[in-house]
Amino acid sequence: CSYLGKISGRRLNEFHANRMKRDTLTCNSSYPYRSFDGSCNNLNNPTFGQTGAMFRRILDPVYGGDGKGSTPRLTATSGNELPKPRSISVLIHDEGNFFNDAFTQMVMQWGQFLDHDITDTPTASNTSVCCYDSLVTSDEVHSDVTTGGTCFPIIIDEGDRYFNTVSTRCMVFYRSDPMTDSSGVRQQYNAATPWIDGSQIYGTSDTMAASLRSGSDGKLLVNTVGDEDFLPEDSNSDDSVCFVRETGEYCFLAGDHRVNVFAGLSAFHTIFVRYHNRICDRLLALHSDWDDDTTFQEARRIVVAVLQVITYKEFIRHILGSTTANTYDLFVGDTDYAYNSSVDPTLSNVFSTAAYRFGHSMLSDSITLDGTVTLTSELYMRPKYTLNNMKAVLEGLQDEKLFRTDRWYTESLTDRMFETPEVSQSGFDVAARNIQRGRDHGLPPYNAWREHYGLAKKANFSEMDQGSGRYTRLYETVDDIDLYSGGVSEDLVSGGRVGELYSIILGEQFKDLKFGDRFWFENTGDISSFSTQQVNQLRRASLARVLCDTVAGIESVPRSPFKAVDDESNPVEACSDISDINIKRRTTDSEMLKQLAHLVIEIFDRSIEREGFEYDDLSFSLRTMDSNPGSLTFRRPIEAVYIAKKMADAPGSKSITHVMRISCFLKQKTGSLK
C-alpha cells in the first residue's frame, strides 16, 4: 500500500536530486509566502525545514553488526536475539478497549492528519522478494538483513492467533530509504516538510502543488459528484493505493500520498480542500482584481494559520495536558510570540519513529456510521465511505469515544490493517511494524531514553506501568525493551493522552515547530506577517467552524468536536452561533502602519549593522501589488512609511497591507537587490 513505501522510485530520485541542490539554494527574502518544499523559511539557514532532510538524532543509533546500520538493531544486551516484533504485539499489545470517556475519535483523526503534514519516512524502493516460503526455515533471517538491503521481514510465529493458515509466516517490511551521515552511519530522512504548513493538502514540491490546482480563482482541483465537491481522482492507482470495488468509487489525489488509507483521513482532506476553495471565494469577493496566484497563496496562508490554531489551541493540550503544554508554550494567543531563527525545526528520528506514533493506540475497533457499527478494518483504503456519506464518517468520528493510549491495541490495527477485502490474512500489524521500524532506524531502547531525559530508569520488569508480567515473558532484561512498546505502556500524564517520556519528546518537537517557523501565524514584523487584527481573527478559528463551513447538511456541532458532548462544558451549538474568522482587510489601519514602519526601520538597521552599509548606501523601494505594479524609491525610511500611508488612504487604493505585501527591499547604490 502507499503507506508501505509506495513513494515511487521517481519521487525517491527527486529527493536525492533535491538534496544535491541544497548547497546552492538562494532565497528571495521579500517573497511573502512559504515555499512548497519548506526551504527558505529560515533565511539564515534556508535548508532548515526543507523536504528530504535527515531526521535529527537525539541519541546516537544503536545498530547491530558494525554499528553503521547495514544491520538493524537485532540483539539484546546478552547478545541473544531480541523477541520478535509480532510476538511483542500479540502478547503485550493485545486487544483491549479502554475508553477515554471525555474525548472522541476526532482527536485520533486530527493526529493522523497532522502526522501527514509533518512527517513521511519513505521506504526503500523495492525490487527483491521479502517473504518467501523457505524463509521460516532458513534461520528466519532474510539475507538482506545483515547486508543493508531493503528487506527486513516481520516473522510470524507458528500458531499465530490470526495469521495461522498463510504459508509464508512473514509480513513484508522494507527498510526506510537510507542516507549516510558524515560518519558513514545509516540515517533516515523526512519526505515531508516538518512545518505545520498544510503540505498534506498542497504538496511538497512546486510540481505537486501545480498538479493539485485548478488554475483559476486560486482554487484547488475538485471532482464534483452530485452537487458536492470531492478530492480529484488519482489516475495512477491500483490496489496498492486504495481498494476500488464499487461503481463510482475512485482513489483520491492529495498533497500527501497516504490520503486514502482511512475514511476519516480522506474526509479531513476533503473538508480542507473545500475550506481552501471557500476562502478563495471570500477573498475574491473582497479583491476582485486578484489573480489566480495571489488568491491561491493568500487562501493558503489563511488555511495554514487555521491548521496551526486548531493544532495548538485544540489538539496538543489534550495530548500533553495543560501543564506540559504550558511548559513548552504550546498554545495560541501568545502576545509576545518571538520567532527564533536559531531553532532548527527538523523532526527528530525518535519523534517520527516512536513518540508521535502513540496515536495508533487511540484508534477504536469500530465507528458507527448512520447507526451501523462499522469495523475500523472496513474503513481502510475504501474511498466509498467518504464519497457516499462523508457527513456520517465525520459524525461517526465525533460520536465514537477515543481509546485510551495504553499498551492495548485493537485487532483492526494488529491483524487486519489494509487487508485486501477478498483475502483474509493479507493485512498486517502496525504495532509490530512500529517496533520493527524502531529497530530498522537503530533507535536505542526504552530505558536509554528515560535516562537521557532524566527520568528514573525502570529497574526491573515490575516497575513497568502496564504489562510487567508479559514483558518478563518476552524480554531478558528491562533494558532491552523496545522504545515504542515501552513508551505507549506508560501511564498517562495528568490531563494528557501520552506518558511522561513521550510527553517530553513531543513537547520539545512541537515547541521547535512553533518558535522556529518564520511563517508562524502569530509572528510579527516579517514581510509575511498578518496584522494584529487578522491574528486576533485567526485565533478564533476552530474545527467546529471548519466542519460547519464544509460539510453539507451539518447544522450544529459540539463546541469542541474533540470532546464528548456535555451540556455544561461542551454543548452542541448551532453553526450560526459558532464564531467565524473575519478575513476582511482594512483600508486604514494604524496597526499596519506601525508594522510597516517597524519593518522598514528594522531592515535598514539590520543592513547597516550586518552588512556595514552607511545610510547613504541604501534606498528603500516600495511596490504596489496592482496589476500595473509601481515602484517608488526613498532615501529615508520615514518617507517610505509616509507615502505608504498616503497610498493606502487614497480613494480607491489598496489597503496598506496590500501595499507592503511585496514592497520592502533594499537596493544598494549599485542597484543589486538585497
Among 84, 357, 585, 654, binds ligand HEM (CB under 6 A): 357
Q: CB of 296: closest distance to ligand HEM in angstroms?
A: 27
Task: Provide the 3-class DSSP secondary structure of residue 657.
Answer: helix
x/- track of binding to ligand HEM for residues 602-641 (CB under 6 A): ----------------------------------------
Measured between alpha carbons, how far is residue 614 from residues 323, 666, 674 in Å?
49, 13, 14
In the range 120-149, which residues lie near ligand HEM by CB under 6 A? 120-121
Residue with C-alpha cell 542516507? Answer: 179
- Minimum distance, C-beta of residue 186 to ligand HEM, in the bound complex (Å): 16
Among 360, 539, 563, 658, binds ligand HEM (CB under 6 A): 360
Applying CB under 6 A, which of residues 124, 154, 261, 435 lies at the interface with ligand HEM? 261
Please identify, using beta-carbon distances, which residue of 32 and 445 lies nearer to ligand HEM: 445
Among the residue ranges 326-334, 349-357, 505-513, 651-659, the one whose residues contact ligand HEM (CB under 6 A) = 349-357
Q: Given the rule CB under 6 A, which of 85-93, 107-115, 140-148, 213-221 is the region that contacts ligand HEM?
A: 107-115
The three grid cell numbers given for residue 509, joined into one nine-digit string: 518537537
Residue 485 binds ligand HEM, judged by CB under 6 A: no
Nearer to ligand HEM, 332 or 430 (CB): 430
Q: Which is nearer to ligand HEM, 357 or 511 (CB)?
A: 357
Give me the torsion for CA of 314, 318, 319, 322, rounded to 10°. 100
Told to check if 152 binds ligand HEM by CB under 6 A, we report: no
Q: Which CB atom, from 421 or from 540, has the smaller least distance to ligand HEM?
A: 421
Choice between 350 and 538, CB closer to ligand HEM: 350
Residues of span 524-563 touching ligand HEM by CB under 6 A: none
Q: Which of 49, 255, 359, 467 binds ligand HEM (CB under 6 A)?
A: 359
Q: Regarding beta strands 556-558 and 572-574, do their DSSP bridges make them parallel or antiparallel, or are they unpaired? A: antiparallel
Per CB under 6 A, 430 contacts ligand HEM? yes
Using the minimum distance from each CB to ligand HEM, give the nearer residue, 316 or 564: 316
**Nearest residue relative to ligand HEM (C-beta):** 359
Beta strands at 572-574 and 618-623: parallel, antiparallel or unpaired: unpaired
Give pairs for 42-49: CB < 8 Å, separation 24+. Answer: 42/341, 42/345, 42/516, 42/518, 43/341, 43/518, 44/341, 45/341, 45/344, 47/22, 48/344, 48/345, 48/346, 48/516, 49/193, 49/194, 49/195, 49/345, 49/346, 49/516, 49/517
Q: Establish if 585 lies at the interface with ligand HEM (CB under 6 A).
A: no
Closest distance between ligand HEM and the C-beta of residue 4, in Å? 6
Stretch that binds ligand HEM, among 115-123, 308-316, 587-595, 657-665 (CB under 6 A): 115-123
Q: Does 363 bind ligand HEM (CB under 6 A)?
A: yes
Q: Can you name the residues that pair with 492 across neighbouring β-strands? A: 499
Residue among 272, 275, 339, 356 that touches ligand HEM (CB under 6 A) = 356
Q: Which stretch binds ligand HEM (CB under 6 A): 31-39, 106-114, 537-545, 573-581?
A: 106-114
Region from 243-251, 291-299, 354-362, 522-530 binding ligand HEM, contact rule CB under 6 A? 354-362
% helix, strand, coil for the chain, step of 5: 40, 10, 50
Question: What CA–CA distance (Å, rounded) separates 278 from 144?
Answer: 50
**510 in contact with ligand HEM (CB under 6 A):** no
Q: Which of 50, 70, 112, 447 binds ligand HEM (CB under 6 A)?
A: 112
CB closer to ligand HEM out of 301 and 357: 357
How far, in Å, CA of 477 to CA of 447, rounded?
11
- Nearer Cβ to ligand HEM, position 295 or 412? 412
Which among 204-212, 304-312, 356-364, 367-375 is the span making contact with ligand HEM, rule CB under 6 A?
356-364
Contact string 396-425 vs ligand HEM (x = CB under 6 A): ---------------------x--------
Q: Judged by CB under 6 A, does residue 119 bind ligand HEM?
A: yes
Q: Under rule CB under 6 A, which residues in 173-202 are in contact with ligand HEM?
A: none
By rule CB under 6 A, what string of x and - marks binding of each residue 370-389 to ligand HEM?
----------x---------
CB of 269 to ligand HEM, least distance (A): 13
Instruction: Pull the grid cell for residue 493.
Output: 500524564
CA 28: distance to chain centroid? 26
* Residue 616: Cβ-neighbour burial (10 angstroms; 0-12, 13-18, 19+): exposed
500-515 helix and 316-327 helix, angle to the nearest 10 degrees: 80
Looking up cell 516538518 gives: 194
Among 301, 433, 470, 654, binds ligand HEM (CB under 6 A): 433
Edge-to-edge strands, sheet with 186-190 = 53-54, 186-190, 178-180
Nearest Cα to 191, choosing from 3, 358, 7? 7
Cα(499)–Cα(355) distance, integer angstroms? 10
> Residue 411 Cβ, how far from ligand HEM at the closest point, in Å?
13
Question: Rounded to whole angstroms, how far apart are CA atoms 600 and 669?
Answer: 17
Residue 89 C-beta: closest distance to ligand HEM, Å: 12
Q: Which stretch binds ligand HEM (CB under 6 A): 217-225, 290-298, 359-367, 498-506?
A: 359-367
User: 399-410 burial, b if ≥16 CB within 10 A, otherwise e?
Assistant: bbbbbbbbbbbb
Task: Say whether residue 443 binds ligand HEM (CB under 6 A).
Answer: no
Handedness of CA 660, 661, 663, 666 (dihedral sign): positive
Indicate the Cα dihedral angle 264, 265, 271, 276, nearest 10°: 170
Looking at beta carbons only, is 34 or 437 nearer to ligand HEM?
Answer: 437
Contact 508/108 with Cβ under 8 angstroms?
no
List 14, 37, 115, 177, residue binding ligand HEM (CB under 6 A): 115
Backbone angles phi, psi at 582, to 5 degrees: -95, 110
- Provide the minimum distance between the beta carbon of 94 and ligand HEM in the complex, in angstroms, as a whole number: 18
The CA-atom distances, in angstroms, between 218 and each of 233, 298, 299, 447, 520 are 19, 9, 8, 50, 22
- Which one among 51, 205, 277, 352 touches ligand HEM, defined by CB under 6 A? 352
Instruction: Give the integer Cα–Cα distance in Å for 656 and 641.
Output: 10
Contact 427, 377 (CB under 8 A): yes
362 vs 551, beta carbon nearer ligand HEM: 362
Joined together, the cell numbers standing for residue 160 give: 499465530
**Interface with ligand HEM by CB under 6 A: which residues?**
3-4, 108, 111-112, 115, 119-121, 261-262, 352, 356-357, 359-360, 362-363, 380, 417, 430, 433, 437
